[in-house]
Amino acid sequence: MLEREEKTALVMLVGVVGIVLAVHLLFGAVGRPLLVEPYSEEVPDGALVLLEGRIEEIRETSSGGHLILSVNGTTVFLPQNVAAGLELHENESVTLYGVVQTYRGAREVVVSSAADIRVLV
Protein backbone atom coordinates (compact mmCIF):
# COMPACT_ATOMS: atom_id res chain seq x y z
CA MET A 1 0.00 0.00 0.00
CA LEU A 2 1.21 3.54 -0.67
CA GLU A 3 2.34 5.60 2.24
CA ARG A 4 0.95 9.09 2.80
CA GLU A 5 4.09 10.81 1.43
CA GLU A 6 4.03 8.64 -1.69
CA LYS A 7 0.37 9.49 -2.32
CA THR A 8 1.13 13.20 -1.92
CA ALA A 9 4.09 12.94 -4.30
CA LEU A 10 1.97 11.06 -6.87
CA VAL A 11 -0.81 13.66 -6.70
CA MET A 12 1.75 16.46 -7.10
CA LEU A 13 3.37 14.70 -10.08
CA VAL A 14 0.01 14.19 -11.81
CA GLY A 15 -0.85 17.85 -11.14
CA VAL A 16 2.42 19.13 -12.63
CA VAL A 17 2.03 16.93 -15.71
CA GLY A 18 -1.52 18.22 -16.15
CA ILE A 19 -0.40 21.85 -15.88
CA VAL A 20 2.44 21.35 -18.38
CA LEU A 21 0.07 19.66 -20.84
CA ALA A 22 -2.52 22.43 -20.47
CA VAL A 23 0.10 25.15 -21.02
CA HIS A 24 1.42 23.32 -24.09
CA LEU A 25 -2.06 23.06 -25.63
CA LEU A 26 -2.90 26.67 -24.77
CA PHE A 27 0.36 27.94 -26.27
CA GLY A 28 -0.26 25.97 -29.46
CA ALA A 29 -3.71 27.49 -29.79
CA VAL A 30 -3.04 31.15 -28.97
CA GLY A 31 0.66 31.62 -28.22
CA ARG A 32 2.14 31.61 -31.70
CA PRO A 33 0.63 34.93 -32.79
CA LEU A 34 2.26 36.50 -29.73
CA LEU A 35 5.75 35.41 -30.84
CA VAL A 36 5.66 36.15 -34.55
CA GLU A 37 6.17 39.37 -36.40
CA PRO A 38 4.73 40.33 -39.77
CA TYR A 39 7.09 39.51 -42.64
CA SER A 40 9.20 42.37 -43.96
CA GLU A 41 12.59 42.69 -45.64
CA GLU A 42 14.06 43.88 -42.32
CA VAL A 43 13.23 40.67 -40.42
CA PRO A 44 16.47 38.72 -39.77
CA ASP A 45 17.11 35.11 -40.78
CA GLY A 46 15.77 32.64 -38.25
CA ALA A 47 12.79 34.78 -37.23
CA LEU A 48 9.31 33.28 -37.09
CA VAL A 49 7.04 35.41 -39.27
CA LEU A 50 3.44 35.74 -40.36
CA LEU A 51 2.87 36.27 -44.08
CA GLU A 52 -0.54 37.08 -45.49
CA GLY A 53 -1.45 37.59 -49.11
CA ARG A 54 -2.40 36.16 -52.45
CA ILE A 55 -0.63 33.22 -54.09
CA GLU A 56 0.75 34.66 -57.31
CA GLU A 57 2.61 31.56 -58.51
CA ILE A 58 3.03 27.89 -57.57
CA ARG A 59 5.82 25.75 -58.98
CA GLU A 60 7.52 22.47 -58.16
CA THR A 61 11.23 22.25 -57.59
CA SER A 62 13.33 20.43 -60.15
CA SER A 63 14.03 17.67 -57.62
CA GLY A 64 10.26 17.16 -57.31
CA GLY A 65 7.92 17.08 -54.37
CA HIS A 66 8.77 20.47 -52.91
CA LEU A 67 6.70 23.54 -53.80
CA ILE A 68 7.75 27.14 -54.18
CA LEU A 69 5.05 29.78 -53.85
CA SER A 70 5.17 33.46 -54.54
CA VAL A 71 2.97 35.26 -52.02
CA ASN A 72 2.85 39.04 -52.43
CA GLY A 73 6.25 38.86 -54.13
CA THR A 74 7.79 36.83 -51.29
CA THR A 75 9.19 33.37 -52.00
CA VAL A 76 7.73 30.66 -49.77
CA PHE A 77 9.29 27.17 -49.65
CA LEU A 78 7.12 24.16 -48.81
CA PRO A 79 9.12 20.96 -48.20
CA GLN A 80 7.70 17.75 -49.63
CA ASN A 81 6.19 16.61 -46.32
CA VAL A 82 4.29 19.92 -46.05
CA ALA A 83 3.29 20.19 -49.71
CA ALA A 84 1.89 16.64 -49.78
CA GLY A 85 -0.89 17.56 -47.35
CA LEU A 86 -2.06 20.69 -49.15
CA GLU A 87 -4.15 21.64 -52.13
CA LEU A 88 -3.28 25.21 -53.09
CA HIS A 89 -4.24 27.26 -56.13
CA GLU A 90 -3.02 30.49 -57.66
CA ASN A 91 -4.98 33.61 -56.65
CA GLU A 92 -6.03 32.09 -53.31
CA SER A 93 -5.48 34.26 -50.26
CA VAL A 94 -3.44 32.59 -47.53
CA THR A 95 -2.09 33.21 -44.07
CA LEU A 96 1.04 31.29 -43.18
CA TYR A 97 3.68 31.01 -40.49
CA GLY A 98 7.28 30.25 -41.37
CA VAL A 99 10.93 30.92 -40.63
CA VAL A 100 12.90 33.43 -42.70
CA GLN A 101 16.08 32.12 -44.30
CA THR A 102 18.45 33.08 -47.07
CA TYR A 103 18.94 30.36 -49.68
CA ARG A 104 21.48 30.91 -52.44
CA GLY A 105 21.43 34.63 -51.76
CA ALA A 106 17.65 35.01 -51.89
CA ARG A 107 15.32 35.46 -48.91
CA GLU A 108 12.46 33.03 -48.43
CA VAL A 109 9.98 31.89 -45.83
CA VAL A 110 10.14 28.18 -45.01
CA VAL A 111 6.94 26.55 -43.76
CA SER A 112 7.45 23.52 -41.50
CA SER A 113 3.92 22.13 -41.21
CA ALA A 114 0.74 21.98 -43.28
CA ALA A 115 -1.06 23.30 -40.19
CA ASP A 116 0.94 26.54 -40.56
CA ILE A 117 -0.91 27.46 -43.77
CA ARG A 118 -4.53 28.57 -43.84
CA VAL A 119 -6.44 29.36 -47.01
CA LEU A 120 -8.78 32.31 -46.52
CA VAL A 121 -12.25 32.27 -48.00
Asked whether residue 2 falls in the same domain as residue 23, the answer is yes
What's the CA dihedral at 44, 94, 78, 62 to 10 degrees?
A: -110
Q: What are 107's strand-pairing partners?
A: 102
Range of the domain at 5: 1-35
Comparing 63 with 53, the larger pLDDT belongs to: 53
| pLDDT tens track for 55-86 | 999 999 888 789 999 999 999 999 999 888 78
Asked whether residue 63 falls in the same domain as residue 92, the answer is yes
Q: Are 97 and 111 in contact (CB under 8 A)?
A: yes
Average pLDDT of the residues in 24-41: 73
Asked whether residue 50 falls in the same domain as residue 29, the answer is no
Asked whether residue 71 falls in the same domain as residue 99, the answer is yes
Q: What is the CATH number of the domain that holds 64?
A: 2.40.50.140
Residue 4 pLDDT grade (very low, low, confident, very high; cuts 50, 70, 90) = confident
